[in-house]
């Protein structure tokens, strides 16, 4: 059931050509990936070289010898760190001393404040005793019940207000009332 129009040799050549093209594309992809990896490695190498040159320049500036051995560099670094730590220890000791001085001062102030409070309480107690001895006691029958007194005072105030309102009838109000009454009774005078 072969197709009479397709030549078997041509089909085989096409398959081989396709396989070669596929292999070539795979190789190209591999080479592209390899080129990318190489470019990344070169970039990292350049970074490392720049870091090395910067470190060399730093060593040259700081120690006047870029070829100094690592051991010497570490010893100088350790000495610098110890100097910094000693400075920090001095600062910490100074801060601790200042804190202790402040605590002692606060304790003294607290004690003096407590002494002043105790003296004030003593004076208050003496004053209370003196007042208790000097105050004459009132007769409760004279004072009476304060609540009853308050209610009586309120009642009196209300009565005074109502009386004032009744008394505040002015002549003008009386005239108006007279006019109203006359209009209602039409001429019969009541006043």
Residue 1's pLDDT is what? 46
Residue 165's pLDDT is what? 72
Question: What are the structural domain ranges in the chain?
Answer: 8-68
For the question of whether the overall pTM of this predicted structure is more than 0.85, the answer is no
134-146 pLDDT, tens digit per residue, is 666 555 555 556 6
- Whole-angstrom CA distances from 96 to 86, 106, 110 are 15, 15, 21
Residue 170's pLDDT is what? 62
Whole-angstrom distance, CA of residue 75 vs CA of residue 77: 5
Residue 189's pLDDT is what? 47
């Amino acid at each position: 059931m072969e197709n009479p129009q397709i030549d078997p040799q041509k089909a085989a050549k096409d398959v081989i050509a396709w396989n070669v093209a596929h292999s070539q594309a795979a190789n190209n992809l591999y080479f592209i990936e390899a080129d990318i990896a190489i470019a990344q490695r070169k970039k990292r190498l350049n970074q490392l070289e720049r870091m090395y040159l910067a470190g060399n320049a730093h060593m040259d500036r700081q120690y006047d010898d870029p070829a100094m051995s690592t051991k010497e560099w570490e010893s100088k670094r350790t000495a610098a760190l110890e100097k910094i730590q000693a400075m920090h220890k001095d600062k910490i000791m100074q801060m601790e001393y200042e804190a202790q001085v402040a605590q002692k001062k606060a304790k003294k102030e607290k004690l003096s404040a407590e002494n002043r409070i105790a003296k004030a309480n003593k004076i208050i107690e003496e004053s209370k005793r003196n007042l208790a001895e000097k105050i004459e006691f009132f007769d409760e029958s004279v004072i009476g019940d304060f609540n009853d007194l308050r209610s009586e005072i309120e009642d009196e105030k209300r009565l005074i207000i109502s009386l004032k309102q009744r008394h505040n009838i002015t002549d003008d109000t009386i005239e108006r009332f007279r006019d109203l009454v006359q209009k209602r009774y039409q001429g019969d005078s009541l006043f």
